[in-house]
Every structure is written in structure tokens, then in C-alpha cells.
Structure 1
Amino acid sequence: MDIVVRPKILVVGAGFAGVECVRRLERKLGPDEAELALVTPFSYQLYLPLLPQVASGVLTPQSIAVSLRRSRRYRTRIIPGGAIGVDVKAKVCVVRKITGEIVNEHYDQIVLAPGSVTRTFDIPGLADNARGMKTLAEAAYVRDHVISQLDIADASDDEAERAARLQFVVVGGGYAGTETAACLQRLTHNAVKRYPRLDPRLIKWHLIDIAPKLMPELGDKLGSSALEILRKRGIEVSLGVSIAKAAPEEVTFTDGRVIPTHTLIWTAGVAASPLIATLGAETVKGRLAVTSEMCLPGHDGVFALGDAAAVPDEAKDTDGAVCPPTAQHAMRQGKHVADNVIATLRGQRMTPYVHKDLGLVVDLGGLDAVSKPLGVELKGVPALVAARGYHWAALRTGVAKARVATNWLLNGLAGDDFVRTGFQSRTPATLRDFEYTNAYLTPEQIRERTGTV
């Protein structure tokens, strides 16, 4: 009797790109056509654009952690762990399970969607004293930390310490940094009313970025509107400025200013997952160089997309243009790469990825927002409706949509709460404690495990 072995499709990463790919494969492939497996340390998809609202307490953490096991068509085997190396010659992905065990996962087709990590620079003290805004744990931690600064300041009789505890620095004038500063400033502005011993004028938020403009993708008009909103709230925005040095109790700016603070939030861009470096393949600014079909040249059955891949932007006439690392692109690429994987299995022709931009949305908390859906510039309540409507529609399950809508309604009716949940420990957590960027193997270690010459 002939035994038919199903080809194994291994998807790495449960972000927007990986989950959209898996779900499309489940819908379009019959159970007898392929075996599906997904490598991820968590069995949920994180809706990253709403992290600032988790940090400010508008949304609960669970509401944006969308379960991967609720799908009606669920048949993908979830491998609970992180990919720490890939040998494309041996067709092996090395996985460190959440138990610590390291195993080799063989595949016939692999889809690399490991996403990105917070981009850092060689700035003294940065890795030890900054917090990020890239994971659910970081958002929950930052919320606890910010509220704890109010508690400590309220309990302190030292005026210098009180002032330092009530100063907050956010680095990064992109969407993540701007929304983080805006949402957390609103939280502290509302919370300080519950602390009669604290002078609200002592609370100072700083948003800095080395770029000359705030969120330049929005255009000059909306970018200026966002800047005006932040400054009216009392947020000090400094452009053309970055961090020269970070210490536990102060931050030095590149313009010479020294800010006494215990809170440095770093959101200055992202870099491709370190997993990409383990392949030993060509990269473009750290992202894996792929074709318009999202294939790795010279290696059959290897696809890459999302933040970790430099996917050519066919919608632009500029040579060498690549798609930016946004959720909008990742979701579309996930569906498209699934179609290309299916095409290779069925002996059909793959197609290039081409997109039409839907626009940009920025929620600044409260009734403030700026948005540019389909090129139409909006601000205020219309922009807020566009921003929240887009995010709500993009949530993958009805349960997630219900939770988020309920959280928004409750926050609008009852206002913010200022509960500190106790995630903090005696040892402050920093960037390196959340993203595990030192957990990957070298190409030599991978070859040693797989026996590839």
C-alpha cells in the first residue's frame, strides 16, 4: 500500500502576517493537502496598534490578545516556543519551546513572519533603563510603573524626588510613540486629581524624536494638528533631538538638557527579528531580501513577509522601494503569501504582491485623533470615529470586537481607573527583559545541529 505523506507547511510568528497566512491556508487547503504548524510562544495574536490604550487602561490586556484556538476551522498545530534559527538547506527550523527544550522542526514549505523587535542604538544606559511598547507584558508593566510614580511622589516629602517621579520621557515621534505619550499623559492628568498632595503642574511629559517632523507620513497639515493637540495638553515635544545618555534617575538629551526622571519609554522604530540573521541570506537594512512574490531567491519553499522582510513595493515607481512595516501591509501580505504557497503546492503560478493604501489613523485619547482614510484628512471626532472604526473592524474575532467595544463604552461612561495591578517587582524590568533578543543561535550553531556542511 502506498503511503501518501502530506507536505508540511511551517509558519513562524503569530503576528498579523503569520495569523492571516494560517487562517487563509486553513480555509483554502483541504486537510489531506498539507499539514499546518505554527511556531509562537503565545497562543494569541496581539493587536499591536492598540497597545497604548492598554498602557493607559482604556482597554484590558485580554481584549487585544485574540485567541488562536477560537477559529471554527482551527486545525493548525501550535508549537509553543520561539524560532531561534533556520537552516534553509536542511529545511529545518530550530525552536526553543517554552519549557526550554530545543527541537528541530522539519518542513517542506516555511513562511517566515517573525515580526520585529524594538530598534535600539549604542546609547549608554539605554538597554538597562528604558522600557518599550512592543509586547502585551510591556504595556501592562508601563501602566503599573507610571501609576507607581504617582504613588511614590505622593508619599515622598523630598521635593526633588517628587519632581523627578512626575517627569516622563517618551522617545519616538512615530505612531507608537505619539499615541503612547498622548494616552499616558491623559491617564496621569486624570489620575492626579485623586492625589490632593500633588501639584498637577509638576507632571511633565516629554516627547522627543530625531526627525524634523512628527509623524511625517500624515502630511504637514495633520502632522501640525497632532503637534498642536499634544502641546495644548502640556506635552513638551522636541524634534531633532534624541537621547545621549540614560541613567536610572535622569536622561540626557543630545541638545544638552538633563531631565530628572525615573521613566524612559523607548519607541524609536523597529528592527527585523534577529531570526533573519540566522539564515545567512541577503538583507536590506536588516530585513530579508525577497521577491515580489515574497519568496527567498535561490531557495524553494521559503517565504518571508511582514516586518522581517523587504517586500518590494510595486505600488511605487521608485526603484528599490519596499513596503513599510505596518499592520496594514502585514495583514494583506499574509493572505497573499498563503495564496502563493498554495499555488506552489498545486503547480500553479505565483503572483506578485501589489497593494492600495487605505490610509493612516492615529488615536490620541479622549476625543482627539487625526486620520487620513483613503487620502481624506480628518481631525477631532470624525478622525476618532475613523480610527476606532478601522481598529474595531480589523479585530479578527467577534469576541475581541465585543470586548474592545465594551471597554471603550465603559471608559467613555465611567472614565479612567487608576488601579496598579502589581506586575512590577523589586527589580525594574527593561527592554532586554521582554524581547529576548539574545536567545538566537549563530549560523554555525545551526549547522552543527542539523549536520549541514
Structure 2
Amino acid sequence: MERPRILVVGGGFAGLECARRLERKLAATEAQITLVAPFSYQLYLPLLPHVAAGVLTPQSVAISLRRSLHRTDIIPGGAIGVDPQAKVCIIRKITDQVVAEPYDYLVLAPGSITRTFDIPGLSEHARGMKTLAEAAYVRDHVISQLDLAAATLDQEERASRLQFVVVGGGYAGTETAACLQRLTTAALDRYPRLDPRLMKWHLIDIAPKLMPELGEHLGTRAMKVLRERGVEVSLGVSVAEVGDTTVTFTDGRVIPSRTLIWTAGVAASPLIGTLDAETVRGRIAVTAELRVPQFEGVFALGDAAAVPDLAKGDGAVCPPTAQHAARQGRKAADNLVAALRNQPLQPYYHKDLGLVVDLGGKDAVSKPLGVEMTGVPAQLVARGYHLMAMRTNVAKFRVGASWLLNAAAGDDFVRLGFLARRAATLRDFEYTGAYLTKEQVREHTQALHAKH
């Protein structure tokens, strides 16, 4: 008898945790497990600001899938369409070859992309912090601005190169602004021609509070730390227009700047749009057991799924965080095993373990199990949490060693030349134009049936 085919889409926190648990709970004879992922690693997303600041190398946060998984087949590519009626997933391999992969059970964990708005100039000039390539690119770009500012005699050009704008007052934006501001401040010692008074970082968000999930006290504390460092934090403000050398805020201010880092939220992967499924604010609607009710054998989780938050109730859905994604991955695996063995499925219920925000150096704010912490103790908790959350000892060692090296030797200010001659956009890094329409998915499915 042929083994059931389990196809896991996505190698992030949700997909990797699901595949790992399936390997542990299922015998090799019970199912064939396949993972679809465009890269050979799970990106440890919370530490991207450290990569952008050069505290960590890109390889440190790229956790090898082949070290984490032992008998799961890995297809190097991205899912670009799903036909749940035919039980087929359309995959574009990294060679651009398009194949149709049949399945018996499907786990959708394609993650999210950067959420953008129809703001003039945004798509041409914004840089994101969602992928490893983006973090490496942002680092090169920021250091190049210092180099170019030091090399020019044009005061207007110099002013625009030394002002940086980060949009988004959540964890990603706050940590990015904090880590990069710390890097550029340390770099000024190496640029004697630059006036420190011209250097300025702006962190803006349309929300009235910075990281409201932290609570009033810790959010205020984080904002105080940033402002004491010289970061200008503006709340209730967004971007009205982005130009080559200026950024216009919605309060009318025009900032001379050639750097806009956009971290204003996420949207579900466009893959969800290829299914005829009910959605909640763009995320596919699932039951508390992580099942997609319209389709047999389909589970969805992570950033792309609207998973009911039973701990909060009142129709709330779980926020798109790594903590939820990893735990949903394990629950999805448990429920998939239960489905294979004709056992009852269990709902996903998770009590929040707390939040950690690393502001670089000795600065941090943390709230583990509801206990508010700041400074060095918070920093130890934050970094300890990240090390525990990593899935391989190699990754833990690389990250820990890099932190120690940075603390002992300080920062470096090296440009690697990553896409040096090309102004890469969000679309370039996140491949948002790669997905099929529903009609194209059906065409691929029909071609598969005709072939067989």
C-alpha cells in the first residue's frame, strides 16, 4: 500500500517545526513527508536587525534545514499555486522549472510578505527587513551612505545621506532603528570629516504608542532609550511621499534622506490568493484545530493563517509572531498524525510566554512571563531566549560566538558590495510577482492530468 503523501509548504518557524515533529511521531512506513522551501535554511527572523548592524553574520541566522530534518524530502523552490480539489500544489523550482506536486495532506505555512500601501515613491525607494538578502543589502546601503557623505563637498547631499527613516514602531522597526543607529554612531569615529550633528535616525509609526504589546511602562522605557541615543521617535505619523533625496511625512515635514526602511506590518503570502478559501484580513480562515474547513486534508498555520486565539477569545486571531508559528507547527503535526490514525484532533491553545526586545549593546526591554525587565537583565533574557529557540547547536554556537566577538572587538564598517549597482526593491527581494492566478493553477492541474 502506498504511503500517504504529506506536503509541507514553507520552511519557516511553522513549517520546519511541523516537519520535525512529523518525523518524530510518524514511522517511515506511515507517510512520505516533503517540504517545499525556496532556500535551504530556516531564517531566524527576530535577529535580522543584528545582521543589518553587522553584529551577526548572515549565516548565523540561517538554520540549515538538512541539519534539522533527517528523512524529509526537500524540494528547492516556492509554491506558487494550490488546487485543493485536485490535491495538487504548483511549485516553481529555483531553476524556474514549474512542476505539479500531488499530495494527500497539505500543510500551508508560506509565511508573510511586507505589507505596503499606495504611497507615491514607496515601491521604488523603500527597503524592507523581511529576508536575509534584505538585511545584508540594508547594511551595505547604510554604510555606503556614510562613505558617500564623507566623500562629497555638497552639503545638501551630505545632509540627505546622513538622515535615515525607519517606518514601523513594532518589534522589527524598533530593533532595526536601535541597532543601526548604534552602528552609525560608532562608525563616526572612523569618519573625521562628518559632523555628528548631521546624523539623525527617525522612527515613525501611525500608532499612538511604541510596541503597545509591551505595556505602558516598557514601551515608554524603550522610547526613552531611543530618544536618549538621538533617535527621533514620531508617533501618529506616517509617510506621504518618498523621493530620490527626500521623505515627506504626513504631518508636513520634509526630511532630506536617501534611506527609507519599511517595516510597517506584514500581509499573508500571495499563495493564499490562489485558493478559493475564506480569508480574514487576507489570512486564510482555519478552525481551532488548524484545519481549512472547505478542503479535505488541508491545514494552515503561521503568518498566512487566521488561527483563533482561544486564550483571548471574543473572535480574536493569533498575531503573526514566531512564537505562535512554532507552536502552531507542532500542533498541526499532532493533528495531522491524529487524522492519519483516525483519532480526534485537538485545538491550538497557547498562553503567551512573554516578549523580548533587543535594543543593541546593553539596552533591552523584556517581559518574560509577565515580569517587566530593562537593561542588562532584560538583555540576558532576550539573548538567552533567542539561543534556546534556535533548532541546531551549530546555529546557537555561531550566534553566541558572534555576540561575544562583537562585544570584545566592536563593530566593523565593511561594505560587501551586495547589489552595489542596483537599487533593489521590496518586490525584488520577496518575489511577490511569482504567484499564479486561479485560472493558471487550473491550467497546470489539467496539464498534469493530461500527461498521466
Q: TM-score range by the shorter chain?
A: over 0.9
d(CA) in 1 for partners of 2:276, 2:248: 37
TM-score normalised by the chain length of structure 2: 0.98
1:278-317 alignment runs, 5 A limit: 278-317=274-313
Q: Which amino acid aligns with 1:401?
A: K
C-alpha displacement of 1:451: 2.6
**Within the alignment, does 1:350 sit opposite 2:345 as a pair?**
yes
Alignment partner, residue 327 of structure 1? 322
**Within the alignment, does 1:116 sit opposite 2:112 as a pair?**
yes
1:106-255 alignment runs, 5 A limit: 106-255=102-251
d(CA) in 2 for partners of 1:386, 1:156: 43
Alignment partner, residue 426 of structure 1? 421
**Within the alignment, does 1:6 sit opposite 2:3 as a pair?**
yes
Any idea what SS the aligned residue of 1:69 has?
A: helix
Q: Deviations over 1:110-158 (max 9, x none)?
A: 0000000000001111011000000000000000000000000010011
d(CA) in 2 for partners of 1:183, 1:85: 37
C-alpha displacement of 1:438: 1.1
**Within the alignment, does 1:398 sit opposite 2:393 as a pair?**
yes
Is the CA contact 1:8–1:108 (under 8 Å) kept in the aligned structure 2?
Answer: yes
Alignment partner, residue 44 of structure 2? 47
Task: Decide which of 324, 333, 338 is 1:338's aligned counterpart.
Answer: 333
Is the CA contact 1:177–1:268 (under 8 Å) kept in the aligned structure 2?
Answer: yes
Any idea what SS the aligned residue of 1:9 has?
A: strand
d(CA) in 2 for partners of 1:182, 1:99: 38
Any idea what SS the aligned residue of 1:437 has?
A: coil
d(CA) in 1 for partners of 2:160, 2:151: 13
d(CA) in 2 for partners of 1:24, 1:54: 29
Q: Deviations over 1:258-299 (max 9, x none)?
A: 111110000000000000011021000000000000000131
Any idea what SS the aligned residue of 1:211 has?
A: coil
Q: Which amino acid aligns with 1:10?
A: L
d(CA) in 1 for partners of 2:360, 2:19: 33
Q: Which amino acid aligns with 1:395?
A: M
d(CA) in 1 for partners of 2:342, 2:420: 55
Any idea what SS the aligned residue of 2:91 has?
A: strand
Q: Which amino acid aligns with 1:124?
A: P
**Any unmatched runs of 5+ in structure 2?**
none
TM-score normalised by the chain length of structure 1: 0.98
d(CA) in 1 for partners of 2:224, 2:238: 21
**Any unmatched runs of 5+ in structure 1?**
none
Q: Which amino acid aligns with 1:35?
A: Q
d(CA) in 2 for partners of 1:242, 1:100: 38
Alignment partner, residue 75 of structure 1? 71
d(CA) in 2 for partners of 1:279, 1:313: 23
Any idea what SS the aligned residue of 1:451 has?
A: helix
Any idea what SS the aligned residue of 2:127 has?
A: coil
d(CA) in 1 for partners of 2:313, 2:435: 37
C-alpha displacement of 1:96: 0.6
Q: Deviations over 1:342-389 (max 9, x none)?
A: 011111111000011100000000100000000000000111011001
Is the CA contact 1:145–1:424 (under 8 Å) kept in the aligned structure 2?
Answer: no
Is the CA contact 2:277–2:294 (under 8 Å) kept in the aligned structure 1?
Answer: no
Q: Deviations over 1:28-58 (max 9, x none)?
A: 1111110010111111000000000000000
d(CA) in 2 for partners of 1:450, 1:161: 54
Q: Which amino acid aligns with 2:338?
A: A
d(CA) in 1 for partners of 2:265, 2:222: 19
Alignment partner, residue 12 of structure 2? 15
C-alpha displacement of 1:317: 2.9
Alignment partner, residue 380 of structure 1? 375
Q: Deviations over 1:63-101 (max 9, x none)?
A: 010001113x61111101110000000000000111011
1:253-268 alignment runs, 5 A limit: 253-268=249-264
**Within the alignment, does 1:62 sit opposite 2:59 as a pair?**
yes
d(CA) in 1 for partners of 2:422, 2:2: 51
Any idea what SS the aligned residue of 2:66 has?
A: coil
Q: Which amino acid aligns with 2:313?
A: D
Is the CA contact 1:86–1:93 (under 8 Å) kept in the aligned structure 2?
Answer: yes
Any idea what SS the aligned residue of 1:341 has?
A: helix
Alignment partner, residue 87 of structure 2? 91
Q: Which amino acid aligns with 2:332?
A: V
Q: Deviations over 1:186-213 (max 9, x none)?
A: 0000011101111111110000000000
d(CA) in 2 for partners of 1:118, 1:43: 21
Q: Which amino acid aligns with 1:435?
A: E
d(CA) in 1 for partners of 2:383, 2:15: 23
Q: Alignment identity in percent?
A: 73
- Calculate the aligned-residue CA RMSD, in Å: 1.0
C-alpha displacement of 1:430: 1.5
Task: Decide which of 441, 446, 450 is 1:451's aligned counterpart.
Answer: 446
d(CA) in 1 for partners of 2:136, 2:346: 41
C-alpha displacement of 1:450: 1.1
d(CA) in 1 for partners of 2:421, 2:44: 29
C-alpha displacement of 1:334: 0.3
d(CA) in 1 for partners of 2:271, 2:210: 31
